[in-house]
Amino acid sequence: MGRKIGYARVSTNEQELDLQIDALIREGCDQSLVFKDRTSGAKSTRLGLDQCLDVLEPGDTLIVWRLDRLGRSMSHLINLIESLIERNIGFKSIQDGAIDTTTASSEC
């Protein structure tokens, strides 16, 4: 079984990442494997996300607090998740509980 790797993002420097990070750790992510960004989701370049995607290996699971923390748009989100599946990497959104590619019930 692979690692659980987390990604957290807030849009401004005034916002805190603590809620997301705490939730990711409760889901089993090691704090050293929680990648973070403090930038608008609309930005095409997010260093934390890029680092996170580079670290993921087949068998790992990417966990986010909510879908809107990951994708810039619906099409970007779909492309990201499809690329994870192609790489044999699971995906789970904590707050959007029905979205979990690591369980048999996620296959339609």
- The residues carrying an active-site annotation are 11
Burial of 97 (C-beta count, 10 Å sphere; 0-12/13-18/19+)? exposed
Q: Which amino acid is at 53?
A: L
Strands 90-93 and 4-10: unpaired
Question: Which residues are CB-neighbours of 94 under 8 A, at least 6 positions away?
Answer: 23, 24, 27, 63, 64, 65, 66
- Whether residue 35 contacts residue 51, with contact meaning beta carbons closer than 8 Å, is answered with yes
Token couple for 43? 């930005």
